[in-house]
Amino acid sequence: MREPYRRRRIDSPPRWTRFKPAGIPRRRLAQTILSVDEYEAIRLADHLGLEHLEASRLMGISRPTFTRVVEKARHKVAKSLVEGRELIISGGNFSLVRTLFRCRDCGDVTPGHSESKPAACPECESDDLEDLARRVRPNDARPTGETKK
C-alpha cells in the first residue's frame, strides 16, 4: 500500500549546496541534482551513522522508503565523485524543522527559526545574517504517480 503523501522531515538546511571539481569551469561540467531529502538521508545514515530504522523515524518515512532514498542518494554522490560532475543540492519533498543563520562576516552558523531571525551574530555581533532555508525550496509537485483523491 502506498504511504500517504507527506513532506519528509529535515532537521535543518544544508550549509553548502554546490560542489564541483577544482580548476574546471562550471560550464564544462555535467550536473547532478541531489534533493534535500536525499542529502538528509546521507547525513543521517552516513555522517551520523544512524540505523535506517532510526533515521527513517526522524524523517517521518518508512524504513523501506528511507533505504530507497539513501541508496539513490549514494549513487548520485558516487557518480559525481567518479565522473567529476557538479553536485547541486536542490528541491525535493521536505519540510525543515528549523533553519540555520550563517554570518556573512565570520561564517558562524546559528540554529533558529525563519520567523525569529536573530538581531546579531552571537560570535562577532554582525547583523549580516543569511537564512540558509531560503537557499532550498521544496518541489511543489506531488511525486510521480501520486493522484489526488
Residue 130 interacting with Zn ion (CB under 5 A)? no
- Concatenating the DSSP letter of every residue in 10-59 gives ESS--S--EE--TTS-GGGS-EEEEPHHHHHHHIIIIIS---HHHHHHHH
Residue 100 interacting with Zn ion (CB under 5 A)? no
Contact stretch for Zn ion (CB under 5 A) within 16-24, 29-37, 77-85, 106-114: 106-114
Contact stretch for Zn ion (CB under 5 A) within 24-32, 62-70, 100-108, 140-148: 100-108
Instruction: Specify whether the CB–CB gap between 74 and 89 falls below 8 A.
Output: no
Residue 131 interacting with Zn ion (CB under 5 A)? no
Instruction: Specify whether the CB–CB gap between 97 and 12 falls below 8 A.
Output: yes
Applying CB under 5 A, which of residues 124, 139, 142, 146 lies at the interface with Zn ion?
A: 124
Strand duo 94-96 + 129-131: pairing: unpaired
Residue 123 interacting with Zn ion (CB under 5 A)? yes
Contacting residues toward Zn ion, per CB under 5 A: 103, 105-106, 108, 121, 123-124, 126
